[in-house]
Structure 1
Amino acid sequence: MSLHADALAALEAWAAPDAAQEALRVRYVAHLRAHPDGLERGCRPDHLTASTLVLDHDRAHVLLTLHAKAQEWFQLGGHCEPGDTTLAGAARREATEESGLGDLSLDPVPVELSEHPVPFCGPRDGVLVHHLDVRFVAVAAPGAQVAVSEESLDLRWWPVDALPSGSDGRPDPDIAALVARALHRSGPSGRSDRAGQSTPSALPSAGGSTRAAADQPSR
C-alpha cells in the first residue's frame, strides 16, 4: 500500500471526536481524493503533514521543540518523505529525527487534525501554504534522553500543567488542546509519588541541565 493509500484509508476510517474535527476529516479526505500528490510538499497551496506529541513515561511532561523558523514551541513533526509508507510511520520518523528518541510507543490512530497557514513555507500566486497536519501521540521510554536537531533552537520537556506561554502570558491554545487530547488518549499514568517526596517540575533539558518551570523562557 502506498503512503497516499494508507493516509486516505486511515482518515476515512478515523472516528472524529467532535464536529469540528469531523469537518477537518472530510476536508482532508477530499484533498487526498483530489490530489494524488496531496502528501508532498510540492502540492500547493495545501499538503498533509504528520506530527507527534511525545509524552514522558509518567504522562507528566510533554516534549516540545522551539522551531528554528517560527521561533515558537511546537510538537515534533513535519513533511512526509519519499521513503515513508504510512502516515503514522512518517510521524514516528519525524519525532525520532527531531528528538533522538528511538524507542517511542506511538499510537497509530491519529489523535487530532489541525489545518494552519505556514508563512515560511512560501506562498504560491500570493496564496499562503496550509499544512493539513495529522497529529499522533507517543510515549517515551523511562529515562529517555533527548538531543536537539539542527531544525530546532531548543528541545525541552514541559510539565503538562505549565506549558510555555506566549506574549499574552497564556499557553498556546492549540498546544494546550493537543496536550489535553493526548492525555485523554494515552490514559492514566499509573504514577504514584512516594510519600515525603515532591514531584519534579521539569526533566533535564536536551543540554543536560534541569530547569524549573519558572526559569523557562516565554514563547
Structure 2
Amino acid sequence: MTLDDTVALLRRHEARVEAGHEAAMLAEYFPFIAAHPDCLRRSCLAGHLTASAWVVDAARSRVLLTHHRKLNLWVQLGGHADGEADLLTAALREVSEESGLTRVRAVSAEIFDVDRHRIPARKTEPEHWHFDVRFLIEADASEPVVVSDESHDVAWVSLAEAVRLNPEESIARMVRKTR
C-alpha cells in the first residue's frame, strides 16, 4: 500500500461522512498530505498521520479504552504509523502492542472515523498535529488484556462509560456511530 492508496481510502470516507465537524477536519487532511509526503513518519514535525482502533466487543456494547500515560486521558488504542501506509495494519499493530489482544478482526477495511488533534510539545518534540485515521475493530472481550508501558490502564467499558470517562466530541461521535 502507498500513500496514494491511503489518500484514496480517505476520499472514500469523505464520500460517506456526514457534514459537520468530522467532514471539516477531513478536508484538512488532503492539503496536509500533499504538502508533507513524509506524513506517515513521526519525523514530520508539522504533524503526521496516526492509526487508531475503536475496539468493540461482539455485541457492540463495550469498547476497549486505554488511559494514555502521556496525555492522561482515556482514549481509543492507537499510535504512530511509523512509515506504514497501510493504516489498518498499523492500527492492528497498536491494538496488540497496547493491549496484548491477539483475537481481533477488522469489521471493515474502510475508515470508521477521523479526527485531527493538536499534541502538546514534549521533551524533544514540538507541538504538532495528529491526523488520526480510525478503524472499527472487534475483539474477544474474554481475552485478558495487558497494560503496556504507554498506559496507566486498559479497560473494557460500556459505551455510556466511554463518554463519561472522556466527554470530547471525538469519543462521543464514535460512540454514536457504534450504536
TM-score w.r.t. the length of structure 2 is 0.87
What value does the CA root-mean-square deviation take over the aligned residues?
2.0
User: What is the identity, as a one-letter code, of the residue corresponding to 1:143?
Assistant: S
Give deviations 1:41-67, integer Å, cap 9, x for gaps: 111222111101101122111100000
Deviates more, 1:129-138 or 1:9-18: 9-18
Query: Which residue of structure 2 lines up, in the alignment, with residue 130 of structure 1?
Result: 129
Structure in which a larger fraction of residues adopt strand: 2
Q: Which amino acid aligns with 1:173?
A: E
Other-structure match for 2:138: 139
Whole-Å Cα distance in 1 between the matches of residues 23 and 164 of structure 2? Answer: 29
Deviation at 1:77, TM superposition (A): 0.3
Matched with 1:211 is: none
* Aligned counterparts of 1:88 and 1:31: Cα–Cα separation in 2: 20
Map of 2:167 onto structure 1:
171
Query: Which structure 2 residues correspond to residues 31-110 of structure 1 after superposition, within 5 A?
Result: 31-82=32-83, 84-106=84-106, 107-110=108-111
Amino acid corresponding to residue 88 of structure 1 in structure 2: L
Matched position secondary structure for 1:94: helix
User: For the pair shown, which has the larger CA radius of gyration, 1 or 2?
Assistant: 1
DSSP 3-state at the match of 1:133: strand
Shift >6 Å, 4+ stretches? none
**1:65-101 Cα distance to aligned partner (Å, 9 max, x none):** 000111110000010124x341111111111211111
Which structure has more helix as a fraction of its residues?
Answer: 2
Q: CA deviation at 1:156?
A: 0.5
Aligned equivalents of 2:163, 2:34: Cα separation in 1: 37
Instruction: Kindly provide the amino acid, as one letter, of the partner of residue 8 in structure 2.
Output: A
CA contact (8 A) 2:7 2:30 kept: yes
Contact 1:65 1:153 in 2 (8 A): yes
Deviation string, structure 1 residues 136-170 (Cα, Å, up to 9, x no partner): 1111125222111111110011111223636xxx7
Stretch moving more, 129-138 or 21-30: 21-30
Q: How many residues align?
A: 175
Kindly indicate whether the alpha-carbon contact (under 8 Å) linking 1:51 and 1:94 is maintained by their aligned counterparts in 2.
yes
Counterpart code for 2:18: D
Is residue 16–residue 25 contact of structure 1 (8 Å, CA) maintained in 2?
no
Distance 1:171 1:31, change over 3 A: closer
For residues 9 and 137 of structure 1, what CA distance do their matches in structure 2 show? 18
TM-score, with length taken from structure 1: 0.72
Structure possessing the higher relative contact order (Cα contacts under 8 Å, 6 or more residues apart): 2
Q: Using a 3 Å threshold, how does the CA distance of structure 1 residues 130 and 101 change in structure 2: closer, same or farther?
A: same
